Amino acid sequence: MAVVPETMRDDMTWQMGLVWEQVKSPVIVPALRLAVFLCLVMSVMLLVEKVYMAVVIVLFKLLGKRPDKRYKLEPIKDDVELGHSAYPMVLVQIPMYNEKEVYQLSIGAACGLSWPSDRIIIQVLDDSTDPVIKDLVEMECQKWASKGINIRYEIRDNRNGYKAGALKQGMKHSYVKQCDYVAIFDADFQPEPDFLWRTVPFLVHNPQLALIQARWKFVNADECLMTRMQEMSLDYHFTVEQEVGSSTYAFFGFNGTAGVWRITALNEAGGWKDRTTVEDMDLAVRASLKGWKFLFLGDIKVKNELPSTLKAYRYQQHRWSCGPANLFRKMAVEIAKNKKVSLLKKVHVIYNFFFVRKIVAHIVTFIFYCVVIPATVLIPEVHIPKWGSVYIPSIITILNAVGTPRSLHLLVFWILFENVMSLHRTKATFIGLLEAGRVNEWVVTEKLGDALKAKSATAKTAKKPGFRIGERLHLLELVTGAYLFFCGCYDMAFGNNRYFLYLFLQALAFFVVGFGYVGTFVPYS
């Protein structure tokens, strides 16, 4: 094997150093300064949005102006002459796809809804491709039908449009024409029996309302650390973002489940469309542009399940990040040109809802905290003011944490985990904006239902899954972790800003996820 002479190695090192110095000043430093400036601008935008929402929440709490109190609410009463026909006809849709573990839970909960039996139709929209699961779901529907429940089992010969396609096809059946409202529940959602009594009257007595959105309650939030992190993020979404949108009559998105739509509004908005992976948000935006209003009821909580594995969670987050960015690309001009809503509402939807919350929030989290800040360690000529690197992130983090007070002690873990997940959210956001390869990828989130309870008895003797390199190792996380670790070592050796404390912790978080030690198998008690 040839050995490179020491003099030649020294010469190569000197040449590489010379090239670096020649490129550094005219190219790298200005580019990094521009990146810092843009990230600081985005950080301020995100901070203003978070502070605005916090102020709105505090003011409405202090003044006692709950959004539901602004609308007329009277219980629906029996009419001696009309009988049950005084009650509106309600359609309950349950879209599902190979939901072996949860189909009984969702169908059972829907059939247990308290409403006059002749004024409700349960519609199971089964897109399952596994014939065994299809038979099980059909048998479950037949079981409830034999008990007098008006339940319809509907299937398609294709999966075109995925969930949006199934919901759209479900609305075409002749019996739906007699329905006034449609309640939608994903396959793992279990509404309480009084759900319709607490939601439908708002639609009956307030003709300007198109949607009633309920809150989600997570049955497996305490399953593992990853589910606790998810709970913190989603609780903020419901406790703050949805509450603010509802309280200020501004736009807020439909969550795709645990909601009741006025069918007239749904049809007027153009019905379900499958042009993005966020058909729920698409419908909500179009209905809002028609002048319809939405109401969020945080007191009504519908039980559901959080993804228990990192693989399922990553697929979910890709869809939730890519879809809004792609919808923004498709609808920004349409929203701006709309003449039925005020300029203020258009600005809110385009800037606040889409640009800041769905695009800036993802990009700045990863680019700034995991790329740009570490890069300034290697290039000390570029300085980041302390208010941008410490104060703003701290305030944003504290404001995010108010949604789940019981998890405040997990705040550091949440920050590190969210930064890791921002890698995939940022990638998905750019895919959506550029309409690239995986823009319409739809992978149904895996649910476990009662499988945990059934398996807990044998869990102690069960073996952990074997180590599979393809499933356990995640290259992007490992590369990012190595970059952060290198920057941390460099800062500890040559820097003076002590970023290495953060860099080592964040690198560790990327390594933990990268080597597959998060959400790999479900822990049993």
Positions marked active-site: 127, 280
The encoded tokens of residue 307 equal 């993804």
Distance CA 105, CA 367 (A): 41
Q: Which of 513, 275, 315, 273 is nearest to 428 (CA)?
A: 315
**Degrees to nearest 5, angle at CA 183 with 178 and 184:** 125
Give me the helices (H) in 146-278, please. Answer: 162-170, 195-205, 225-236, 243-247, 263-268
State whether residue 218 is helix, strand or coil.
strand
| β-sheet bridge partners, residue 301 | 215
30 membership: H or E segment, kind and range: helix 29-63
CB 150 within 8 A of CB 122: yes
Question: Helix crossing, 131-145 with 103-111: angle to 10°?
Answer: 20
Q: Please give the C-alpha separations between residue 503 and each of 236, 344, 371, 401, 411, in angstroms, as whole numbers.
A: 26, 41, 11, 22, 17
Distance CA 284, CA 266 (A): 9
- On the 0-12 / 13-18 / 19+ scale of CB atoms within 10 A, 438 is middle
CB 197 within 8 A of CB 119: no
Distance CA 21, CA 41 (A): 29
- On the 0-12 / 13-18 / 19+ scale of CB atoms within 10 A, 69 is exposed
Going by the DSSP 8-state scheme, the letter that residue 94 receives in this structure is: E
CB 321 within 8 A of CB 314: no
With the CA atoms of 12, 17, 22 and 26 taken in that order, what torsion angle do they form, in degrees rounded to the nearest 10?
140
Q: Which of 425, 428, 434 is nearest to 329 (CA)?
A: 434
Q: Which of 67, 303, 78 is nearest to 202 (CA)?
A: 67
Q: Identity (one letter) of the amino acid at 214?
A: A
